[in-house]
Amino acid sequence: MIPLPLRVELLNTGSELLLGSVRDAHLSWFGRELFPLGLRIARQSTVPDGAPIRDALLEAFARTDVIIVTGGLGPTTDDITRELAAELLGRKMLPHPETLERIQERCRRRGFAFQPRMERQAMAPEGATVLPNDNGTAPGLYLPSVEGISWSSPHIFLLPGPPRELQPMAVAHVLPVLKELAKRHSGGVTQECRIYKVVGMGESMVEAKIGLELSKRGDLEVGYCARPNEVDFRLIGPCEILDQVEPSVLAVVGDYLVSGDEKSMEEIVVHLLAERGMTLVTAESCTGGHLANRLTNVPGASKVFLEGFVTYSNRSKSDLLGVDYGLIEAHGAVSEQVVRSMAEGALQKSGARYAIATTGIAGPDGGTLGKPVGTVWIALAEEGEVTEAWKETIPADRITFKQVVSQSALDRLRKRLKGPATS
């Protein structure tokens, strides 16, 4: 059976989170950072400023081993996290001269006037380890676990709310402590997470073909995360067990597998192009530059991506790519003939090895009986080869439509690149 991990909770504080004016950036970050240590977030809560923080802490004390609290360490009257933690633990609040010096020096260095309210940030509960903040004025605090006969408290980390302050502090001062705690608790048993990115198979199909069988074993955690035209198939368990079942997974997903190491589709495509010394150009209508955007988000894309044409109007298709107006008048802009001409024109203009072209109807208007909203034609042209074109129907909102179209186009190029090399 899977061993029980150290119980870790994340408590986010701040009325701005619950009002929707600020997005929570902490859960996903801590989730990623903790897993390699053998830890996982068991529960996450968000509470407004003030007394609810006390209630949330008190509830968590009885069920968790570690609680990470974010926010409420500033200088204003609603920043009372450290005072509430001290009250629950029966600790006095004591001045921390080194922190006060750091705050004053930061104000001088940045040309800000030191405010008396800032002295609150230089107070710490008795027995706390102060975690310096190199990116703000509010230090973090670590209060080790206290074991008692009738009452105990978990390991408590109080951290500033802004991610630009929290994340460097956590890397330097929190994760090393948690790593040691995890080692003592696990007895040497570690878990690994493997994510298989699958394109072209729905999550129910992945489950039917392999997931159900693996979930019956009892020594693996099986999970799925569905995205537009993509499924993350997730396995968590001891490394030796994952090694044992991986051949079965690969045999089932086959060519639908994009990546087994969490790399994105665009990262895989850029890597394959670079590995083969080949180049790419895009000619986009309905995707409006989304393909080019995804590709150029990848470091090193400049070595393989030559240029991108966004030809949204019929005139631009003709002027920039050389598409014959006669083709557009005879078949419409959303047609096999036009998308082939777009891809071949981009190939000729750029001198690239490959070209991807898209033209479609993203909606919500513009559809007809013969070409409903969601219709898209995609083409893949290669120097010296016959251009491949295919039609898909993707009834979705505009953003999802562009994501699915670009995913389909990149996946077709990925498969071409992974096939037998042509010269």
> What pLDDT does 422 receive?
45
Give pLDDT tens digits for 278-329.
Answer: 999 999 999 999 999 999 999 999 999 999 999 999 999 999 999 999 999 9
The CATH number of the structural domain formed by 192-259 is 3.30.70.2860
> What pLDDT does 1 receive?
46
Single-letter code of the amino acid located at 92 = K
Right CATH for 7-186 from 3.10.129.10, 3.40.980.10, 3.40.50.970, 2.60.40.150: 3.40.980.10
For the chain, the straight-line distance linking the first and the last C-alpha, in angstroms and rounded, comes to 52
Q: Any residues with CB less than 8 A from the CB of 412 and at least 6 apart, and which? A: 378, 380, 388, 390
What is the architecture of the domain spanning 265-418?
Alpha-Beta Complex (3.90)
Residues of the chain with pLDDT under 50: 1-2, 421-423
> What pLDDT does 133 receive?
94
pTM over 0.85: no
Give pLDDT tens digits for 204-227.
Answer: 999 999 999 999 999 999 999 998
Give me the residue label for tokens 């024109």: 345
> What pLDDT does 423 receive?
39
Q: Taking a C-beta distance cutoff of 8 angstroms, is the pair 44, 9 a contact?
A: yes
**Angstrom distance (rounded) from CA 219 to CA 337:** 53
Q: Any residues with CB less than 8 A from the CB of 377 and at least 6 apart, and which? A: 334, 335, 336, 338, 339, 358, 359, 360, 389, 390, 391
Give the pair of three-digit tokens for residue 53. 């923080």
Rg (the chain; Cα; Å): 28
Please state the domain extents for the chain: 7-186, 192-259, 265-418
Provide long-range contacts, Cβ within 8 A and 24+ apart, for 23-28: 25/163, 26/70, 26/163, 26/166
Q: Any residues with CB less than 8 A from the CB of 211 and at least 6 apart, and which? A: 222, 224, 233
Peptide bond into 95 cis (omega under 30): no
> What pLDDT does 78 receive?
87
| DSSP codes, 365-415 | S---SSS-TTEEEEEEEETTSPPEEEEEE--S-HHHHHHHHHHHHHHHHHH
